[in-house]
């Protein structure tokens, strides 16, 4: 994960909108794959591989370095007013990582001989991207604590993002 | 068949979004639980916001809550990273962020607000004018 700095929250939502559209297209074109022999040249499979790669790009480089993030920063952000607030890129980057896990699972399961994995994985990823794009749903807000409670904090225990202003002592809890 | 599945996916996703949205800013009245002075200011009603490093909306909500505290001498604002204070988050059943607690001057947790809400929602919760859809929890828990 990259160093947390403030980003325009409209950027990730722009990326989520494009992602949702592409995933919906992928669901549409990959439905016939569910009942067909495995074909690694099928459009639905190839698109899911590409989307998986884009998710990985965003997860490793940070959401602002993803293709949509770069496009937003170069062509859209300069035309907009300043945002009312900025947010840490950690949340949207976490969402990219979750998107990668879901889509790469579909890719690998397809290669393993489960043809329905492509449309199913695309559908799950679509739901998350659509909720983010249309409703501002924050995947990291909803599920990150579930991971943290199991000791998985993605190296962000003390990341320097909006922090505790007053620290309590655990022995007093 | 493809059109039907895609349309169904859109409908289900929209319904999920509407349900999620309707739960945002819901005020849940509480009583019987108290919280230690480490997480509140003595003699003031405290707005206690739980955040995580992954929570973008927390940054949106924070200035709104700070503003309420700045305008009222009887209200203080504190935020707590739920990951750094997992034990506290577990005891208070904090499952997502932002989750905000309204703590009375004597340390009793009076209300819980999940997600983003207008400032009026928090002010009403502070004043005790909680909307009718609220649920009252009565378990006796001392944090």
- Tens digit of each residue's pLDDT (9 = 90 or more) over A107-143: 999 999 999 999 999 999 999 999 999 998 988 888 8
Q: CB-based burial of residue A21 (10 Å sphere; 0-12 exposed, 13-18 middle, 19+ buried)?
A: middle
| Cα distance between residue B73 and residue B35, in whole Å | 21
| Closest listed residue to residue B51, CA positions, set B38, B65, B37 | B65
Structure tokens given for B53: 């490093």
- Residues B17, A137: C-beta atoms closer than 8 Å: yes
The model's pLDDT over B15-67, given as tens digits with 9 standing for 90+, comes to 999 999 998 999 998 888 889 888 999 899 999 999 988 888 898 899 999 99
Q: How confident is chain A (173 residues) per 10-residue block, as mean pLDDT? A: 68 95 96 89 95 95 91 93 86 92 97 95 97 90 85 59 36 29
Hey, are the CB atoms on B56 and A91 less than 8 Å from each other? yes
Cβ–Cβ below 8 Å for A135 and B90: no
Chain A: give the shortest CA distance to residue B104, in Å. Answer: 17
Residue B129 confidence (pLDDT) above 70: no
- Where do we find the tokens 């607030």? A85
In this structure, what DSSP letter does residue A31 have? G
Q: Do A158 and B90 touch (CB under 8 A)?
A: no
Give the span between the Cα atoms of B49 and B79, in whole angstroms. 5
Contact A52, A100 (CB under 8 A): yes
Closest listed residue to residue B98, CA positions, set B40, B23, B37, B45: B23
DSSP letters, A74-135, are IIIGGGSPPPS--B-THHHHHHHHHHHHHHHHHHHHHHTT-TTHHHHHHHHHHHHHHHHHHH
The nearest CA of chain A is from the CA of B69 a distance in Å of 14
Which of A64, A122, A70, A68 lies closest to A93, judged by CA?
A64
CB atoms within 10 A of CB B9: 20
Residue of chain B whose Cα is closest to the Cα of A152: B83
pTM for this predicted structure: 0.82
Three-class SS state of A154: coil
Distance from CA of A93 to the nearest CA of B (A): 9
Cβ distance B17 to A173 less than 8 Å, yes or no, reads no
Give the chain B residue whose CA is nearest to the CA of A84.
Answer: B60
pLDDT at A139: 85
């Amino acid at each position: 994960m990259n160093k947390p700095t403030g980003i325009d929250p409209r950027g990730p939502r722009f990326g989520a909108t494009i992602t949702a559209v592409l995933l919906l297209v992928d669901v549409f074109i990959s439905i016939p794959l569910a009942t067909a022999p495995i074909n690694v040249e099928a459009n639905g499979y190839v698109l899911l591989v590409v989307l998986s790669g884009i998710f990985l790009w965003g997860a490793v480089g940070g959401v602002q370095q993803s293709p949509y993030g770069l496009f937003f920063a170069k062509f859209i952000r300069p035309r907009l007013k300043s945002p009312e607030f900025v947010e840490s890129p950690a949340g949207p980057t976490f969402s990219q990582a979750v998107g990668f896990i879901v889509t790469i699972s579909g890719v690998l399961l397809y290669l393993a001989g489960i043809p329905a994995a492509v449309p199913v994985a695309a559908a799950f990823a679509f739901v998350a991207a659509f909720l983010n794009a249309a409703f501002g749903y924050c995947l990291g807000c909803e599920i990150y604590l579930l991971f943290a409670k199991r000791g998985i904090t993605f190296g962000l225990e003390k990341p320097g993002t909006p922090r505790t202003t007053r620290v309590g002592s655990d022995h007093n809890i | 068949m493809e059109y039907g599945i895609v349309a169904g996916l859109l409908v289900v996703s929209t319904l999920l979004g509407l349900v999620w949205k309707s739960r945002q800013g819901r005020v849940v009245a509480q009583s019987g639980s108290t919280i230690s002075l480490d997480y509140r200011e003595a003699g003031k009603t405290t707005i206690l916001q739980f955040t995580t490093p992954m929570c973008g909306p927390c940054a949106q909500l924070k200035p709104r809550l700070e503003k309420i505290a700045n305008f009222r001498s009887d209200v203080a604002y504190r935020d707590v990273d739920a990951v750094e204070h997992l034990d506290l988050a577990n005891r208070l059943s904090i499952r997502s962020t932002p989750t905000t607690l309204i703590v009375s001057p004597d340390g009793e947790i009076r209300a819980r607000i999940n997600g983003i809400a207008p400032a009026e929602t928090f002010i009403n919760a502070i004043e005790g004018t909680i909307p009718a859809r609220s649920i009252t929890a009565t378990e006796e828990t001392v944090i």
